Amino acid sequence: MVTGVPYALVSLFKRFKEMQCEDISGVMRIESGKLGPILGITACTHGNEPSGLAAFEYLLREKNIEKELMCGTLYLVINNICATEKFFNATSNEEIRKSRFCDINMNRLPRETLHLTSDTRYEIVRARELYPVWKHFEFGIDIHSTLELSEPMIISRGGEFHPELVRGFPIKTLISNIDRIQIGAPAFSFYSSPESDAKIFAIEVGQHTDPSSFERAATCAVSLLENLSMLPSTKQSVAMEYDEYHIDDSIVFPDLSFDFIKEFKSYEKVHKGDLLAMSTNEKEIRATFDGHLIMPTSRRGTDKDISEEMAFISRPVETHRVG
């Protein structure tokens, strides 16, 4: 059993693994019997990120959501069953590291995934399997966590932010436009049907197995349900302040000869022309504008994977106040 994960989450995963909705495993649909929003809450897009399961467990056990849902329909979905099973079966740090995905990062899917009918990679097959459920979502939240300690974040989709949905979230950092800059497509880009005006976003709740990440995920899930009037709420509306980091570039290492010139911190300020990374034969990567370095990956050795972005660069932070 993975250290730091309550057995209740292991048990809940086993329950979800055997559960089916619309002939799709890992999906629970809860009907209120009354008209209302169709909300999807998704967990474990990456197998080593159990915080979404903690939110499910809280909703089912503490909030008794199967009986107390006031209106609409709620879908609880485990996106990556195979990788999550690898995570819970892991017996070493190396096995935990390899449990993030099976064949392809589910947050770096080909943008044509829904048309790849002959592609047998697990995450692509699973995304196509889940799409009949995902497309129902009028509102959706994908719950993630991070390997390193980091500030929790709200991740907008398509540059849209919906402050009315995140009232009560213990998060004040917004990352926008990252889904347009990153390599491939995040899973949540396939939520809802193309013609809908669904409101979809993701959250990063903190470090993978930190108890505070579990609590934060549960708080966000409950707040979202309350904001949609799917659960009763006694909270008063208060002004919300958040810092927006608008992503406009990324850093990708062309080959394994490149490395960062130092250990950068996330949100560290950079200026146009600053040297960020260099190859062994002195080729350079420099900042293309003034802004901040977002989610820089730990320095890479010559045997490390460089297939994804090493960091993103945002425009200078903007603070917004709503309400």
Token representation of residue 196: 């809908």
Residue ranges for the chain with pLDDT beneath 50: none
Q: In this predicted structure, what is the pLDDT of residue 190?
A: 97
**Nearest of 300, 294, 288 to residue 314 by alpha carbon:** 294
Name the pTM for this structure: 0.95
Q: In this predicted structure, what is the pLDDT of residue 194?
A: 79
Listed in order, the ranges of the chain carrying CATH 2.40.50.100 are 248-322
**Nearest of 236, 221, 169 to residue 63 by alpha carbon:** 221
Q: Return the number of other C-beta atoms located less than 10 Å from residue 106's C-beta.
A: 27
Q: In this predicted structure, what is the pLDDT of residue 117?
A: 95
DSSP symbol at 185: B
Give me the CATH topology for the region 248-322. OB fold (Dihydrolipoamide Acetyltransferase, E2P) (2.40.50)
Q: In this predicted structure, what is the pLDDT of residue 235?
A: 75
> H helices of the chain, where?
7-18, 51-61, 65-68, 81-89, 93-97, 122-134, 178-181, 211-227
Question: CA-to-CA distance for 238 and 166, rounded, in angstroms?
Answer: 12
Report pLDDT digits (tens) over 127-168. Answer: 999 999 999 999 999 999 988 778 899 999 998 999 999 999
Find residue 160's DSSP bridge partners: 157
Report pLDDT digits (tens) over 88-100. Answer: 999 998 898 899 9
For residue 10, give the H/E element and its range.
helix 7-18
Listed in order, the ranges of the chain carrying CATH 3.40.630.10 are 7-238
CATH code for the domain defined by 7-238:
3.40.630.10
End-to-end CA distance of the chain: 45
